[in-house]
Structure 1
Amino acid sequence: MTSPLRPPQFKSHRRLLEQKLSDLHKCSDPNSLVQIHSQIFRLCIHRDPIVVSKLISAYSLCRLPFSFSTFSRMQVSAIKADSFTYSFLLRSFHGHLRRVEVIHSHVFRLGFSGDVFVHNSLICSYSRAGELALARKVFDETVLRDVVSWNSMVGALVRAGEIGDARKVFEEMPERNIVSWNRLLDGYVKVGDMDTALDLFQRIPDKNVVSWSTIVLGYCKKGDMETAKMLFDKMGLRNLVTWTIMISGYAEKGLAVEASTLLNKMEEAGFELDPSATISILAACAESGLLGLGKRIHASVKRFTTQISNALIDMYSKCGDSDEAWIIFEETIVKDLMSWNSMIHGLAMHGHGERALDLFARMEGEDFMPDGITFIGVLCACTHMGLVNEARRYFSAMQKDYGITPKIEHYGCLIDLLARRGVLMEAYNLAKMMPFEPNVVIWGSILNACRVHDNVGLAEKVVDELMKLKLSDEGNFAIISNIYASAAKWDGMAKARLKMRDDLGQKRAGSSWLELDDVVHEFTVGDRMHPQADRILRMVSRLGKHIKQLCEE
């Protein structure tokens, strides 16, 4: 009796490579891709157009900057490209207009201008580069359109915020699939038109998990967690994305108990957080300050990537634990620009200006090129430390040394610092001369500094500028009223108070909140509805007496 054949214990390297090559275009692991590419060269199969096309696709998926150089070598070696090559290549350069135009010229010159696959890729690439008009031109020139062509155009219009035009194209479609419905639904969600989004959602013939996830996301963004949860509970099939949307929605609203409870249910359903879900929930914790939930997510991480480390640095920094953020930063083996930016901003945010500037110097020493976001953190650090001359130097270095054009946020940081330090006229003149229209935040910072430094004349000019913006804020009126009172200009104070009453009516109550044992407590001025209000007020009174006693000593 013959024994059954056993599977071979050894597979040839050639057979293993063939298996890898068959799925090469799906490869998303950069390290594996580099190894496969070296094997392709060693076996001299790098001239095969099918292999080259798959290589370009893989580099696109891995976000590695070698797809264009691979294409260039292909041209030099006289390897003929096909329509799939150009489709994969275009996917690599979403957002890079110049390279998309170069590829488009190749397509036209080599006779692929009538290929529907290439045209669909061009529509997407131009729209992602912010060139809606060029995307529309390609669509209009496409003679034989398929459903992907129409979907690409709807997606391009949605991406540009042209939801009305997207709806028109959608209505003109000769046929639709679920992608068509979902793209238009996504458009209404992005512009916040949830009434139309819900109406469209109800019309979708065969809703899939993307349809449900999109409508749930829309209500989470709107802050209507009750409707979001109702829709979430109605879903027949949920995936990790849907769970993440709901948990992040609760976290962003500061609803720690609900977020933790849903996280428990997700784990009971057999789902584990992947890197994308982890980053999404950590970002929501950072926005609302939910340190407890953020720590729980941190404890669940099994494999730390640079992106997850960055999200943790940002979360701990925004939740006030800059020491833990620093530990994670130092433990991050492969740091990218976001790692440095998050840590510099975190230090600056919590008053550690000197450490933030030292870290910036270390960043320069390690040959990391800063960007505009880096310099916002640097200028904020200077503001916290009152370093006027250093801030002027960094502001100048942005353009001179790094070629970064200052944005309104950079001007705002410098103006705020100058105003705080009493250099009021320089701050005012900079606001008037900068290439942007000063906003209410910039004028408000100068006005507040006028109160501190008792500059009534400049305060009146600033109030005039604020009135031109037609943006009334009770805080600004209160500041100018107090400035008049300090200078014993009672007529001016009375006019400011009258203006505040006429323009604003009842002043909105200020509020603050804190997290305690995974519960967020909100307090508003004059509100005694909290169940522990009496005990809290007694403790505040005791603290006030204690502080007064310390000051007297």
Structure 2
Amino acid sequence: MPLRDSFTYSFLIKAVSAAGVGPVRAVHSHVFKLGSVEDTFVGNALIDAYSKNGGFLDARKVFDEMPARDVVSWNTAMAAMVREGELSGARKMFDEMPERDTVSWNTMLDGYTKAGEVDAAFELFQRMPERNVVSWSTIVSGYCKKGDLEMARVIFDKMPSKNLVTWTIMVSACAEKGLVDEAGKLFAQMKEADVELDVASVVSILAACAESGSLSLGKRIHRYVRKRKLGRSTHVCNALIDMFCKCGCVNRADYVFDTETVEKDSVSWNSIIGGFAMHGHGEKALELFAQMKQQGFNPDAVTMINVLSACRHMGSVDEGRRYFSNMERDYGIMPQIEHYGCMIDLLGRGGLIKEAIDLIKSMPWEPNEVIWGSLLSACRLHKNVEYAEIAVNELSKLQPSNAGNFAVLSNIYAEAGQWSDMAKARMQMKGTGSQKTAGSSWVELDEAFHEFTVGDRKHPDSDQISEMVDRLSSHVKRAGCVPAGHELLVQ
């Protein structure tokens, strides 16, 4: 048998690390018996393998017992501490290192930014003797995640060289914050710099567009995808479907699903079913669900959330009950709290509030604020005072500083003519120490977002907008609708 050297063991450790901590320990035991564990290359490989498989204590023990360490040993051990969330320990190790390279500095930068300590990362960044594109990108990403796009842009503009990752970080951050014009300009500059988007960057930017509803930029990315033939990627098509659905263009999403998605997967089906359900097209969503099963795709937990959501929007209580009751039998899916939430909302909207309460009591989990919030909404819709009081009582334990729950209860009391109870609810609302957040709406027009908040007159066209709202209200009344509380009811 040929002699095994340290390189052989290093590669073996790296190969078995994907199988979990057990095989790593087996190889570790073997090399220990042969005396190769004292080799620096082997030690470094063991530290890395252990730390990536949850064996942090094993990794630290290997590092502490190494007779000789190089900069890779220190960097690997420090990265293990960062991965474990031991940021103070990692910084102590960083300060004790006999020598540092760029990887050492970047590891600490990454640790600070992931922990949200961007100012500490920037202080370290300023001290770096040498910075590479990873250093710059990490800081830009940190300030983007913090929401300080102004600082992120300052650092971005100062970068001596930018790569695809950095451009993607900046464009995605602007898109996610609704800065469509800024994101569009950066996208144009990126193309001028001959930086080509890949699948990962396209998906990242589209996800940001979906988050903020930046439809115009999403359409530009779609054109770019078609031109560069990136649409052959299922991941890209799924991101496009999700973006168009969340931006309100479900028909365009359906076109991408039907025409452009060559190889559909479960995510493709879930996205389009969820999109139609989200926009109230329950029958179409259930039709697609049937097609999904016919084409051999097995529904998963997400699929069933979308199916129950479709039933909820259609008001199909019996159909929703059937899908919910048979999930485990038909598809092997145990109902999760999200599925219970859909059913409780469906029952509540249908006026079956007592049945919704019974379902809450049968849950294997403690109800969260979403569950009680759904019940409270149903009570408001059906003017049910008794169960609204129960819901608000539970919500006050989960969200003690949320004044909005008492505001809803106060309105329910008012509609029931229980004025003294309404006054008490208003007092409880004030006693939370916070105010209900004012509602706001926004619309995208000519690649710019316009936000409107109750009572806010800051918009330059607020007078014309108010005049148009009054005219629309008049048209609504002439069409046979009259305001009743917070709703418009057809006579």
Match of 1:213 in 2: 137
Q: 2:472 aligns with which of 519, 524, 543?
A: 543
Residue pair 1:87, 1:117 contacting (<8 A) in 2 also: no
Q: 1:287 aligns with which of 207, 211, 222?
A: 211
Match of 1:429 in 2: 358
Deviation, 1:161, is 3.6
Residue pair 2:351, 2:378 contacting (<8 A) in 1 also: yes
Q: 2:426 aligns with which of 470, 494, 497?
A: 497
Confirm whether residue 333 of structure 1 aligns to residue 262 of structure 2: yes
Confirm whether residue 272 of structure 1 aligns to residue 201 of structure 2: no
SS in 2 for 1:521: strand
Q: 2:296 aligns with which of 352, 367, 384?
A: 367
CA distance in 1 between counterparts of 2:80 and 2:102 reads 17
TM-score (norm 2): 0.87
Residue pair 2:13, 2:27 contacting (<8 A) in 1 also: no
Match of 1:510 in 2: 439
SS in 2 for 1:111: helix
Q: Give the residue type in structure 2 aligned to 1:518.
A: E
Q: Give the residue type in structure 2 aligned to 1:175.
A: E
Deviation, 1:268, is 1.8
Residue pair 2:172, 2:204 contacting (<8 A) in 1 also: yes
Q: CA, structure 1 residues 296+544, in 2 after alignment: closer, same or farther (shift >3 Å)?
A: same
Q: How does 1:62-101 map to 2 (within 5 A)?
A: 82-83=8-9, 85-90=11-16, 93=18, 99-101=19-21
Q: CA, structure 1 residues 550+435, in 2 after alignment: closer, same or farther (shift >3 Å)?
A: same
Q: How does 1:463-502 map to 2 (within 5 A)?
A: 463-502=392-431
Match of 1:178 in 2: 102
Q: CA, structure 1 residues 449+118, in 2 after alignment: closer, same or farther (shift >3 Å)?
A: farther
Q: Give the residue type in structure 2 aligned to 1:225.
A: L
Q: Give the residue type in structure 2 aligned to 1:208.
A: N
Match of 2:324 in 1: 395
Instruction: Identify unmatched segments of 5+ residues in structure 2.
Output: 1-6, 482-490
Deviation, 1:312, is 0.8
Q: How does 1:242-257 map to 2 (within 5 A)?
A: 242-257=166-181
Confirm whether residue 151 of structure 1 aligns to residue 75 of structure 2: yes
CA distance in 2 between counterparts of 1:159 and 1:374 reads 33
Residue pair 1:466, 1:472 contacting (<8 A) in 2 also: no
CA distance in 2 between counterparts of 1:496 and 1:468 reads 15
**Structure 1 residues 193-202 or 286-295, which shifts more?**
193-202
CA distance in 2 between counterparts of 1:496 and 1:371 reads 42
Residue pair 1:90, 1:121 contacting (<8 A) in 2 also: no
Q: How does 1:375-386 map to 2 (within 5 A)?
A: 375-386=304-315
Deviation, 1:172, is 4.0
SS in 2 for 1:250: helix
CA distance in 2 between counterparts of 1:467 and 1:357 reads 37
Q: 1:260 aligns with which of 164, 171, 184?
A: 184
Q: 2:251 aligns with which of 317, 320, 323?
A: 323
Q: 2:112 aligns with which of 175, 185, 188?
A: 188
Q: 2:24 aligns with which of 93, 96, 104?
A: 104
CA distance in 2 between counterparts of 1:484 and 1:219 reads 46
Q: Give the residue type in structure 1 aligned to 2:27.
A: V
Seq. identity, %:
57
The alignment's C-alpha RMSD in Å is 2.7
Q: CA, structure 1 residues 161+427, in 2 after alignment: closer, same or farther (shift >3 Å)?
A: farther
TM-score (norm 1): 0.78
Q: CA, structure 1 residues 314+214, in 2 after alignment: closer, same or farther (shift >3 Å)?
A: same
Deviation, 1:254, is 0.6
CA distance in 1 between counterparts of 2:321 and 2:69 reads 56
SS in 2 for 1:514: strand
Match of 2:279 in 1: 350
CA distance in 1 between counterparts of 2:292 and 2:81 reads 40
